[in-house]
Structure 1
Amino acid sequence: MKIKNLTTLGIILVAIIGIIIIANQLQNKKPSEQSLVFLPQFSEAACSQMLVVEGKDSAKLVKRGSAWFVSSKKAAAAGVTLAATASSPVQPTVEAAPASNDEYPADSSAIQTALDKLKNLKRDGLISQNAQKQAELEVDTAKGIYVEVWNDKGKSTGAFYIGKSGANWDSHFIREKGSNDVYLASGSVRFSFFGDSKKWNDKSVIKFDKSFVKLLQITRKDSGSIELVKTVPVPTDTSIKEGWQIVQPEKFKAKKDKAEQIINTLSTLNADDFESDTAISADSMGFAKPHLVVTATLQSGETKTVIVGNKKGTTSQYWAKNPENTKAVFLIAEYNINNLNQGLSALKDVPEAAVAKDATKPGVKAAPVAPTKVKTAKKK
């Protein structure tokens, strides 16, 4: 009888030990990568629209074909309804997409960064399920950055709030819309979403391939127009080197590095910001009598122009426009304007020896260097 009881106790003990071992294994089992994905229905390829609401600001991003566009601030705000009732918290809802004429090309790198963050967003750890802590973690409707995304069928594939930073600067608290579960997510996700629609705008003022430039024209407010043509070497005349020649207002060899500085700056010119104050008139910004106009003519005959107005107040920025883009007034850094604003004396390639010699003779101007023969690049 005693042996039977001992056997039974032994079996029970083994069973208990087995249960403990299995429970520990289950507890310590690493969750699958798929189970950690915060937006399981999100697909980068199918994503067609994003909405970001931050305080009173909002931005709606829309995909047209393969390109992304950002609504104007007015259109984006009109597309968001903050529907609050006594029994439910404030939740943004989205109306129809704005018309294309209310849209501006989006910064492709900012869009790609946002898509990457959405695709790689994971639950690093459950922090709280207490609704009272949402305000403290800034994942509530008042302080959280609200993000919602839709696929190409118009179906919402994710809606969540981004809160404040965690213990590490690159981690943030996140909460899915309609849930009290707050998770920690790494990857600096908050820094990739902003409600200010201007921050999503493509800041390119002009883009073109600088190797195709054949003619450069600089018109300054305080002087006349300067024209430069590109010279190309020819097998039959070894005296002609690749470079630049001033042809207006006089013929003179141009400094190659100065001409290339202007072209390099113009071909990749980006704005610091956009002018959003519609109360400032075009005359006040200086577009009636521009401070500077620079035009590059390409081999195809196409022209690329930037019109620079006045300096904005005490800032280090100038108002500028691209005639091909009627939607934007850009604010361009002063150092970029200085790179473009080159006068005749700065562009002339005067030998140092001639300058030094004439510098010892007050009132005597240096004799101009004989102009080089001009062979312009042929139109392709």
Structure 2
Amino acid sequence: MTESSTENKPVASSATGSERRLYIALGVLALLGGALYLQTEGKKAEIKSLSGEVAAATLPTLSVAESIKDNATKIVIERPSDAAEGAAIAPPERHTLVKEGAEWKLSEPLSALANQTNVESLLSSLPKLKIKEQISSSAESYAQYDLSDDKATHITVFEGDKVALELFAGKSGGRGQTARLPGQEGVFVIDGYSSYLFSRDTKGWRDTSVLKFETEKVTRVDVVNENGAFEFKKEGDKWSGRFKKGKAGALSAIKDFESSKVDDLLRAYKSLNATGFGDGKSLSDTGLDKPLAELTITIGDAKTQVLFGSNAEGSSRYAKLPEGSEIYTISSWASDWAFAEESKFQKKKDSGED
């Protein structure tokens, strides 16, 4: 029995050695496999990186200098009309902005002073435009991305006679803003594009400011309307108020006059903006041939007057400045002061008072 056990020991030792060699072989194989995998993945990453570099190198560029803000002379924006579904396709809306001296003016679809801030915001955004990637190389994709001639927003910016930038903007989605370039077939994604800067309607491109002044410098306010005439004068840091009913008679102190009401009036006019315009309407159409109310604001020796006519949209009123031809529409929040009754400037009575 002892002899038999002694004879079996080398067999057990031999089997253990074989298993050890097998494990070593498997370990070496695993290391080789891991090395091969890492080498393959590295090659893939390298190829991908090189492909990206090649793709980026072949993309067109939008090189708009910061100087565009000072050197631009004309901007033309054509965008599709917002036609109702099923309606006939309307011609695109075309807005042309031209720089005259230091000011931008709207020359198409009508002639008017432009909103300087809105034009400057657009120009400031142009140097930030960058082409990020190309998602199609075929013109057949234009309709899919709203880049066909009847769907795209066409933007052209000039420096003198030279085109500084031209592009067509289409849909904006998860990948970004799509665009196409003239003479370059394909659909691109661009960074830095803010659609609201380019999609304003005519009113958005016009200067809507009517009045702007510092209330602290106002020394006198006069109001004339169908109720009578008001005269307000600054006395120290308070206002005095006088009123005469109708056209006859003399001005007399307003009973229970509340000085702060004049301050409220001035707040409504200190940065007065039009809510719209009376384009195509005559003075007689708007009641401005015979104004229904007049508001005069005096600062030192300078007087600024606003004339008011009949009702426009809703409760707003048509208005104009005596020296200008532009007809505005003014919200009731401001225009109601020009049509005020005496009670609007009086202290409110307590409910218990007669």
Q: TM-score range by the shorter chain?
A: 0.7 to 0.9
Alignment match, 2:102: 66
Alignment of 1:334-353 (within 5 A): 334-349=332-347
Deviation at residue 72 of structure 1 after TM alignment: 4.4
The offset of 1:110, in angstroms, is: 1.1
Tell me, what secondary structure is at the counterpart of 1:295? strand
The 2-side partners of 1:164 and 1:20 are apart by 33
Cα distance change on mapping 1:338 and 1:134 into 2, 3 Å: same
Q: Which of 223, 228, 234 does residue 232 from structure 2 map onto?
A: 228
Name 2:277's counterpart in structure 1. 274
**Is residue 2:163 matched to residue 1:160?**
no
2:222, 2:295 within 8 Å by CA — same for their partners in 1? Answer: yes
Change (3 A) 1:72 1:343: farther
Alignment of 1:302-317 (within 5 A): 302-312=302-312, 315-317=314-316
How many pairs does the alignment contain? Answer: 295
1:36-80 per-position Cα deviation (integer Å, ceiling 9, x unaligned):
863435722222211111243211112233322111415xxxxxx
Name the residue aligned to 1:207: 212
Normalising by structure 1, what TM-score? 0.68
Residue 8 (structure 1) aligns with: none
- Using the TM superposition, give the Cα deviation of residue 243 of structure 1 relative to its aligned residue in structure 2, in angstroms: 1.0
Tell me the distance in 2 between the aligned counterparts of 1:31 and 1:129.
Answer: 12
Report the Cα distance in structure 2 between the residues aligned to 1:211 and 1:37, rounded to whole angstroms: 52
Ranked by relative contact order (alpha carbons within 8 Å, sequence separation 6 or more), the top structure is: 1
Partner residue in 1 for 2:263? 260
Paired amino acid for 1:246: G
In the alignment, which of 40, 52, 64 is matched to residue 77 of structure 2?
Answer: 52
Shift of 1:255: 2.0
The answer (yes or no) to whether the contact 1:48–1:63 under 8 Å persists in 2 is yes
Q: Which runs of 5+ in 2 are unaligned?
A: 1-35, 81-91, 244-250
- Indicate whether 1:198 and 2:218 are aligned: no
How much has 1:331 moved relative to structure 2?
1.7
Task: Name the SS for the 1:199 alignment partner.
Answer: helix
Show CA shifts across 1:74-96 (max 9, x none): 5xxxxxxxxxxxxxxxxxxxxxx
Shift of 1:29: 5.3
After superposition, the CA RMSD in angstroms is 3.1
Match of 2:138 among 117, 121, 130: 130
Name which of structure 1's ranges 155-164 and 251-260 shifts more when overlaid on structure 2: 251-260
The structural deviation recorded for 1:339 is 4.6
**Alpha-carbon distance change, 184 to 20 in structure 1, aligned in 2, over 3 angstroms:** closer
Tell me: CA distance 1:269–1:177, structure 2 relative to 1, closer, same or farther (3 Å): same
How has the CA–CA distance of structure 1 residues 161 and 344 changed in structure 2, closer, same or farther, with 3 Å as cutoff? same
How much has 1:297 moved relative to structure 2?
0.8
Task: Mark the runs of 5 or more structure 1 residues left unpaired by the alignment.
Answer: 1-12, 75-102, 233-241, 360-380
Q: Secondary structure of 2:185's match?
A: coil
- Aligned partners of 1:295 and 1:304 also within 8 Å: yes
CA contact (8 A) 1:166 1:184 kept: no
Residues 236-247 of structure 1 aligned to structure 2 (within 5 Å): 242-247=237-242
Overall identity of the aligned pairs, in %: 21
- Quick one: distance in 2 between partners of 1:226 and 1:112? 41
**Distance in structure 1 (CA, Å) of the matches to 2:302 and 2:259:** 22
- Contact 2:130 2:192 survives alignment (8 Å): no
Q: Identify if the C-alpha distance between structure 1 residues 188 and 294 changes in structure 2 by more than 3 Å, giving closer, same or farther.
A: farther
Deviation of 1:24 after TM superposition, in Å, equals 4.0
1:28, distance to aligned residue in structure 2 (A):
5.1
Secondary structure of the corresponding residue to residue 148 of structure 2: coil
Aligned with 2:64: secondary structure?
A: coil
Write the letter of the residue equivalent to 1:329: I
What letter is aligned with 1:108? Q
Return the letter of the residue paired with 1:61. Answer: L
**CA–CA distance in structure 2, aligned partners of residues 124 and 202 of structure 1:** 35
Q: Partner amino acid for 2:307? A: I
Match of 2:296 in 1: 295
Amino acid at match of 2:168: Y
- CA 164–19 in structure 1, closer or farther in 2 if over 3 Å, else same: closer
- The 3-state SS of whatever aligns with 2:179 is strand
**1:26 maps to 2:50:** yes
Q: Is the 8 A contact 1:54 1:146 kept in 2?
A: yes
SS at match of 1:114: helix
Structure number, greater radius of gyration: 2
